[in-house]
A and B are shown apart, each in its own frame.
Chain A
Amino acid sequence: QVQLVESGGGVVQPGRSLRLSCAASGFTFSNYAMHWIRQAPGKGLEWVAVITHDGSGKYYADSVRGRFTISRDISKNTYLQLSSLTAEDTAIYYCARDDPSGQGDYWGQGTLVTVSS
């Protein structure tokens, strides 16, 4: 069955960096684009970034462009490198699969990033 498992979250100081990982299983990873979506405490969902199935295309929300970098490898992992973090980046970060029928047919359980001094 399809599984997405995020890791790498934690407490980080403002201005520092963190790398999140999303491990995929149960499907042919190289056929699917992958998203990162976040949710600040008590708030709604905010799309962060997407990477195409082959890694050739990477797109970002304005709020993170230039600070976050999405990437993927052939070992079925999707990454999100977070840099120059601020308190506004505090959120649960979810990875989600992009299906040809639409976006977000499978989601991971999320990983919490807390930016605090």
Chain B
Amino acid sequence: DVVMTQSPLSLPVTLGQPASISCRSSQSLVHGDGNTYLNWFQQRPGQSPRRLIYKISNRDSGVPDRFSGSGSDTDFTLKISRVEAEDVGVYYCMQGSHWPPYTFGQGTKLEIK
């Protein structure tokens, strides 16, 4: 199984400042079709998860452009250019390249300092 490791697990950020979350996989996430199925999800308190980013760097519809994804192979990053109050929650990376099983990172809890 592919193990997904996120860091940090807790991320206190000042409003208006940038934030960055790392996600590393135990093996390359390049799929046989050439795509890399690495997704990022946001889960606000009391809500269902919401996908922000798919295939490393593609923003879902309605996702603010302050969110961006980057990386390749086994090393991926989610960046928030300027954190807003509504960004509080837990962020998960998830791989869909080598399944079953699909696997998630442990989650990174973003809070406002």
Task: Give A residues with C-beta under 8 Å from B.
Answer: 35, 37, 44-47, 50, 59-62, 94, 96, 99, 101-105, 107-110
Contacts and interface: CB of A to CB of B under 8 A. Distances in A.
Contacts, number: 65
A61 B60 CA distance: 27
A71 to B, nearest CB: 17
B49 interface: yes
B49 A62 contact: no
Contact of A103 (B43, B60, B96, B106): B96
A86 to B, nearest CB: 19
A105 B60 CA distance: 8
B64 interface: no
A45 B55 contact: no
B72 interface: no
B37 A102 contact: yes
A47 B2 CA distance: 13
Chain A interface helix/strand/loop/mixed: strand
Contact of B102 (A47, A99, A108, A109): A47
Interface in B67-102: 90, 92, 94, 96, 99-102
A50 B100 contact: yes
Interface in B30-61: 37, 39, 41, 43, 48-51, 54-55, 58, 60
Given A44-B107, A47-B104, A61-B101, A102 B55 contact: yes
Given A47-B101, A47-B103, A101 B54 contact: yes
30 contacts: A35-B102, A37-B49, A44-B104, A44-B105, A44-B106, A45-B94, A45-B104, A47-B100, A47-B101, A47-B103, A47-B104, A59-B100, A96-B49, A99-B54, A101-B54, A101-B55, A102-B39, A102-B51, A102-B54, A102-B55, A102-B96, A104-B39, A104-B41, A104-B94, A105-B51, A105-B60, A107-B49, A107-B50, A108-B48, A109-B48
